[in-house]
Structure 1
Amino acid sequence: MDTIFFNGCIRTLDDSEKVAEAVGIENGRIVFVGTDKEAEAFSCKKRIDLKGRLMLPGFVDTHMHMLHYAFVERSVKLFDCASVEEMLAAAKKRLEESKGQKLTWLYCRGWNEEHFDKPRYPHKDELDALSTEIPIIMVRVCGHVAVCNSCGLELLKKIPEFPEIEKEVDMYTGLLKENAVQFYSSVLEAPSQEEVEDYIKYSAKKLNECGFTGVQSDDLASLPGKNWRRIMASYKALDARGELSIRHYEQCLFERAEDAKAFIEEGYRTGQRGDHFTVGPMKLIQDGSLGARTAAMNEPYEDSPGNTGIITFSQEELDDLFAFFDRHQMQAAVHCIGDRAMDMVIEAAAKSPYRKDNKKGRHGIVHCQITNPRILQGMKDQDLLSYIQPVFIDLDMNTVEPAIGAHRMDKVYAWKSMLDMGIHTSGGSDAPVVSFDAMENIYFAVTRKNISGQPQEGWIPSEKMSVDEAVKLFTKNAAYASYTEDENGTIEVEKNADFVVLEKDIYKIDPDEIKTTKVDMTVLGGEIVYERKVEE
């Protein structure tokens, strides 16, 4: 054997729920799982003492924006701003720091007016006061609303797709919504392949530090220039050179139906793979966000009379897309937050005449927030995956009821109910909208409290998960969502040697301590890709 990890509490998460003490690795795969005494009988090149710590299968985030995370980290971050004035000051500071450099645009991300003392959106005129020479955009935390300056608006008007998004652009205020926010990237200069590869490696390293060995990420439309071919080439090049420190399952987003179909007609299919990079599902965005009041609802918002949000695709268009995906052996993952959007996806899945013939037909709904008993039953009946983000409990718990009203609160953010009904449910973060910290995500799922520990009994406490259920969101269940349940997700012989080692046993500590538990080690294919330095 190459390596034996011993003296651990190794929760295999297999069907027998076995807890082992030692695991042996050879050529990147697990060849032994058992007791310390059994492990002593094997010869190996290296033995690593776990010192009693908890080992789990490596974590997988089943929905985030890995490339955009790296891009935002190097942009102007507005997540902590408490007012529009603070946002403007942060942008002004970056402009001043960049004097003398060739700055061709300024991208800012993360503001949330609901956290302001005086809730309001920024205005185009305020951004014009910063600069009228380069485009400036300030994107809301959700990514579905933004404000840009006059220069940015003029460039946006020149892109070929502008007639399609004009209705989502307010030329007076500079406000952009939904697809207009996405297409704004087209006016910005695209990074080189070298820069894209640098973004990928940066994000993978940060994910490794949080215990992740896998990610299911929406990247193809996430960078300026919208050059999806360059992004695909960057992932494949890193994979071919053995420089991808995470197993990547790409959620392939195209905003327009014709572009999604063209991608498939070029020959791309779910499951095409290299060593660490795999083509995953087609990603669609069917509605907006709750915070921006653009999530598609069956009834108007309680605090926005007459507003039922937006939909991207009509029912006829959605039906056609699902039939197309099924006919071409493609998985689909659809962003839906509102109940109307989910109803439409469930109907499209049910209508598809080719679903039974699609070997990659594990279609799913990303977010699944404003559900109800009927929608949950529909997801169960159509065998749709649920990609949830427990961290949204922290973000949304105080805004949901004011937005939709008490009469629609039955079975919202109903993730324990999904598990109990047998709906295949996996966990993600939607980073960079919020943090991808796995410990925080597990804490939110188990306690239903916000990061400050409130409310004491948890928000909608009937939806609390056990620690084991929450851990499986990011391990065993995540593997099912990417068709890799025979390779990943549990610690069993012949599977990939992907592990995370934690400083504390989160199955035994007070649940409130889970959020601060540190990742001590991350192992990918038997190789340690992260190890926390602990001062003696």
Structure 2
Amino acid sequence: MNRRLFLLATLLATPAAAQPADLMIWGGPVYTGVAPKAVDAVAVAGGKIVYVGSKAGAQAKLGPNTQVIDLKGAALFPGFTDGHAHLRGIGERELSLNLEGSKSAAEATARVKAYLAQRKPAGPVFGRGWIETGWPEGRFLNRDDLDPIAPDQPVILVRADGHALTANTAALKAAGITEATPAPDGGAILKDAQGRLTGVFVDNAMGLIRKLRTAPTEADRRAAFEAAFKVEAAYGWTGVHSMSVDWADVSLLEAMDAEGKAALRVYNAVDGDQAGPLFTTGPRASRSGRITTRAIKLYEDGALGSRGAALFAPYADAPTTSGLVVTSPETMRASMAKARAAGIQVATHAIGDRGNANVLDLYAGQDASKLRWRIEHSQIVRPADIPRFAAMGVIASMQPSHAIGDLHFAPARLGEARLAGAYAWKDMLKAGARVVGGSDAPVERGDPLIEFYAAVARKDLSGFSAPDWQPEQKLSRAEALKLFTSEAAWASFAENELGTIEVGRIADLSAFSVDLMTAPEAEIPKGRAVLTVVDGKVVYRAD
């Protein structure tokens, strides 16, 4: 009996690192995010990394119940985190009318017509994903496109960036909107040369039409999150910084986590208009820690494509406008003061150079560095303002794929002079700023391989890049990797647990069929995720 007790005590006292691994991964390069040279294997036990090194050393961690995964040449990385996305919107894209990829207004209209014929939906129809850049019509989708196919049923279609929508005449009538309806502050109602409504509403004016939409039920929202988790895991993301989150979705996500239905790690930034409960409670997390809520999302301006981004000088292709400030400075200051008092991170949308400068001014003196406040997009910045990010400790949360999509219209919007501070990832890093990478899905596709490619190639998916598109802003492979791993961990206060493959870290891991560190750049977006591991558990594995 004494010997048995001694053996039991010895077993219980044995460090976790000495126990057999639950999961062993080898058979391809393992990039740790710590050293440039890849290692051969990683072992996981109890959700934590317990070994990193050679295959020979890893074999000592094998036990009778160890799950062994052979990468068969695929490359393993620290878990990729999407530093800016809209999680529920990703799921809704999968479940609703999706106009993404439409190559013309005619094609977008044909898709709507087919959707109406096949689904025969009752009531107002909502869709998303159209973007006119590159269309042969050279204009926004408008109500004249939609009226012939839906003369009596309201149809509302949101532009891909989420900052503009087009509505047909039936929707305008249902919402009670006429040519005499005034645009709210921070919004625009577009009209043609004759003063007739085009059906296009920008930024804050979108609310005039969106009121036609019935609020989704909890079942609807749950279905959207389930779809989003499936899609994101299959892309290789292990986590998402989810922006503009409805307060009701915080408790829903926590409940899904308790049920074992939250496949990924989610870091929530609650919509600023709904942040009252968070200011009262302070940062919160689910019991597992997989769902964390400690940030709010504010909006300074609109988007570049819909000419809502706030610029210091007028748009080069629309000299009568310089964009929109969608939230008053007084409202912004009040929200920031509450966030600061509660220890809450602030993430503020700013795209134009005036928008970014305004937010930096608002952040001044607010302990932005201590609270790790962020500017989401940081898209068009005056070169003189770039060093302010580092000096103030403001995180630049940027989405590389915006640069490969916008290169086809941003020069016309901005003019050549303003391109010097556009999508300036490298200059941000040189200045000492922390830069986090994301996708802004469903605005963009949301594929991490496209984001990584955009960061290192600064070309579109066909390999094209305009001569004035600042190729010096390209990142090295190592710099790009940090955007989606260690820097994303820092931005969510998880730098001691996530972001690298090291013993003692949480085992969030992403494997791709293409070696991001060595493959020719053109091959990167042709790859796919083959393995996604969260908390040491396989949540996606390719056939």
What is the TM-score when the length of structure 1 is the normalising length? Answer: 0.89
Query: Structure 2: which amino acid aligns with 1:209?
Result: A
Q: 1:471/1:341 Cα in 2 relative to 1: closer, same or farther (>3 Å)? A: same
Q: Deviations over 1:494-535 (max 9, x none)?
A: 2111111222322122122111122221111111111111xx
Aligned mate of 1:312, from 326, 333, 342: 326
Q: Deviations over 1:225-283 (max 9, x none)?
A: xxx42x223212211101111000112124xxxx3453434x34335344221113110
Indicate whether 1:204 and 2:240 are aligned.
no
Aligned mate of 1:246, from 264, 279, 303: 264
Q: 1:475/1:2 Cα in 2 relative to 1: closer, same or farther (>3 Å)? A: same
In 1, the alpha carbon distance for the partners of 2:41 and 2:187 equals 60
Query: What is the aligned partner in structure 1 of residue 117 from structure 2?
Result: 96
Aligned mate of 2:252, from 234, 245, 252: 234
Aligned mate of 1:383, from 384, 387, 393: 393
Aligned mate of 1:506, from 505, 513, 516: 516
Displacement of 1:378 in angstroms is: 1.4
Over the aligned positions, Cα root-mean-square deviation in angstroms equals 2.4
Asked if the contact 1:300/1:306 (under 8 Å) is kept, the reply is yes
Displacement of 1:34 in angstroms is: 2.1
Displacement of 1:448 in angstroms is: 1.0
Query: What is the aligned partner in structure 2 of residue 69 from structure 1?
Result: 90
Asked if the contact 2:105/2:145 (under 8 Å) is kept, the reply is no
Query: Structure 2: which amino acid aligns with 1:173?
Result: T
Aligned mate of 1:289, from 294, 303, 309: 303
Query: What is the aligned partner in structure 2 of residue 224 from structure 1?
Result: none
Query: What is the aligned partner in structure 2 of residue 272 from structure 1?
Result: 285
Which segment is superposed worse, 195-204 or 147-156?
147-156
Asked if the contact 2:165/2:206 (under 8 Å) is kept, the reply is yes
Asked if the contact 2:310/2:352 (under 8 Å) is kept, the reply is yes
Aligned mate of 1:193, from 199, 218, 222: 218
Identity of aligned residues (%): 32
Query: Structure 2: which amino acid aligns with 1:234?
Result: L
Query: What is the aligned partner in structure 2 of residue 152 from structure 1?
Result: 171
Q: How many residues align?
A: 511
Displacement of 1:23 in angstroms is: 1.6
Q: Deviations over 1:405-428 (max 9, x none)?
A: 122222321101112222110111
Q: Deviations over 1:378-415 (max 9, x none)?
A: 11111110111111122111322221112222232110
Aligned mate of 1:5, from 11, 14, 25: 25
Asked if the contact 2:404/2:454 (under 8 Å) is kept, the reply is yes
Displacement of 1:154 in angstroms is: 4.6
In 2, the alpha carbon distance for the partners of 1:397 and 1:122 equals 20
Query: What is the aligned partner in structure 1 of residue 336 from structure 2?
Result: 322
Displacement of 1:447 in angstroms is: 1.0
Aligned mate of 1:172, from 197, 200, 217: 197
Q: 1:381/1:43 Cα in 2 relative to 1: closer, same or farther (>3 Å)? A: same
Asked if the contact 1:319/1:351 (under 8 Å) is kept, the reply is no
Which segment is superposed worse, 504-513 or 60-69?
504-513
Q: 1:7/1:284 Cα in 2 relative to 1: closer, same or farther (>3 Å)? A: same
Indicate whether 1:342 and 2:361 are aligned.
no
In 1, the alpha carbon distance for the partners of 2:512 and 2:540 equals 12
In 1, the alpha carbon distance for the partners of 2:317 and 2:161 equals 19
Q: 1:167/1:472 Cα in 2 relative to 1: closer, same or farther (>3 Å)? A: closer
Query: Structure 1: which amino acid aligns with 2:260?
Result: G
Query: What is the aligned partner in structure 1 of residue 530 from structure 2?
Result: 520
Instruction: Give the SS at the match of 1:214.
Output: strand
Q: Deviations over 1:92-118 (max 9, x none)?
A: 22111123xx52221122222222212
Query: Structure 1: which amino acid aligns with 2:483?
Result: L
In 2, the alpha carbon distance for the partners of 1:251 and 1:142 equals 18
In 2, the alpha carbon distance for the partners of 1:333 and 1:375 equals 18
Q: 1:395/1:268 Cα in 2 relative to 1: closer, same or farther (>3 Å)? A: farther
Q: 1:3/1:83 Cα in 2 relative to 1: closer, same or farther (>3 Å)? A: closer
Aligned mate of 1:217, from 230, 242, 267: 242
Q: Within 5 A, what are the aligned runs for 1:385-400?
A: 385-400=395-410
Asked if the contact 1:268/1:279 (under 8 Å) is kept, the reply is no
Query: What is the aligned partner in structure 1 of residue 69 from structure 2?
Result: 48
Instruction: Give the SS at the match of 2:539.
Output: strand
In 1, the alpha carbon distance for the partners of 2:276 and 2:488 equals 28
Aligned mate of 1:489, from 479, 484, 499: 499
Q: 1:169/1:288 Cα in 2 relative to 1: closer, same or farther (>3 Å)? A: same
Query: Structure 2: which amino acid aligns with 1:391?
Result: S
In 1, the alpha carbon distance for the partners of 2:275 and 2:23 equals 46
Query: What is the aligned partner in structure 2 of residue 30 from structure 1?
Result: 49
What is the TM-score when the length of structure 2 is the normalising length? Answer: 0.88
In 1, the alpha carbon distance for the partners of 2:183 and 2:516 equals 53
Q: Deviations over 1:307-327 (max 9, x none)?
A: 110001233333333222111
Query: Structure 2: which amino acid aligns with 1:37?
Result: A
> Larger C-alpha radius of gyration, 1 or 2?
2
Query: Structure 2: which amino acid aligns with 1:284?
Result: L
Asked if the contact 1:147/1:175 (under 8 Å) is kept, the reply is yes
Q: What are structure 2's unaligned runs of at least 5 residues?
A: 1-20, 191-195
In 1, the alpha carbon distance for the partners of 2:111 and 2:452 equals 32
In 1, the alpha carbon distance for the partners of 2:294 and 2:171 equals 33
Q: Deviations over 1:106-135 (max 9, x none)?
A: 112222222221222333354344335543
Query: Structure 2: which amino acid aligns with 1:21?
Result: D
Instruction: Give the SS at the match of 2:129.
Output: strand
Indicate whether 1:80 and 2:98 are aligned.
no
Asked if the contact 1:78/1:111 (under 8 Å) is kept, the reply is yes
Asked if the contact 2:186/2:326 (under 8 Å) is kept, the reply is no
Query: What is the aligned partner in structure 1 of residue 5 from structure 2?
Result: none
